[in-house]
Structure 1
Amino acid sequence: MLFYIIAILVVISDQLSKYLIRTYIAIDEDFTLWGLQLTHIENSGMAGGLFQGYGVIFGVVAVLFVIGVFYIRRTGEMKGALIDSSFGFLVGGAIGNGIDRLLFGQVTDFIIRTKGVLNIADHAIEMGVLLLIIYGAVSWWLMTSKHK
């Protein structure tokens, strides 16, 4: 259940925030909200603006990724709150950006960071990757400590 709750919350918050940005903020307009520096850009590539114009292809990759996660979850080999949270953030982020890519051919980004401009789905994917690394490290430690 945790997996679904996180994924749904990520998709809703991501899509709502992108809708509000697209509706009320002009492209390349900078603004500050609650102390955060924001700007509205549209990215038809991937992180950092690489591979511009391939948004639909990345959308298809997102769909395949989500299918892969559902397959892994179905096998039941990876269990627990940590991996459910990781997969929830990863799937929610992939769906959030996948929706943009498949509907618009590009992703709405608006949160300014030192290494570029991102959105809520991007941050969810980062959180999912971090949790996946922690899950892997904990799993490895538990496996190696049992054999000693």
Structure 2
Amino acid sequence: MVRSDVLGKRLDLLLDVLADLRRYRESVTRERLAAERDTQHMVLHAMYVAAQAVIDIALHALADADRPPGATYRDAFRELASAGLLDAGLANRLEGWAGLRNVLAHHYASVDYGLLHDALVGDLGDLEAFAAAAGAWIDGDTTSSE
């Protein structure tokens, strides 16, 4: 059984930042993101927090299931799929979010804001699907979901 107090706090954070990202998706154009430093910082930070929250939730769920976390953040999603806790297709797409998190954390001086905008407008559904799966884990449903 997943510790709902720990997982719940991370999930609440993820849901809050997803609400922010949905709002940004509606108001931040590709051109604005490329041109405005304040907007870059706002979107970059929210995307970093979302990606990190997903990773933290994944690692917590693996620890709770007595499964290895893997050598990389990407491996954590593969392991969730292997454990039957996450649909393999969703796990594969979330590996990209782990990669984005690493870019934002370590290569922040050379972020491609066009690609960041693409993720903002096109990829939030994967984070929302993961949040739904994590909510099910809290409720005790350990079947894989997408």
TM-score range with shorter-chain normalisation? 0.3 to 0.5
Structure (1/2) with the larger strand percentage: 1
Structure (1/2) with the larger helix percentage: 2
Structure showing greater Rg: 1
Q: What's the TM-score, normalizing by structure 1? A: 0.36
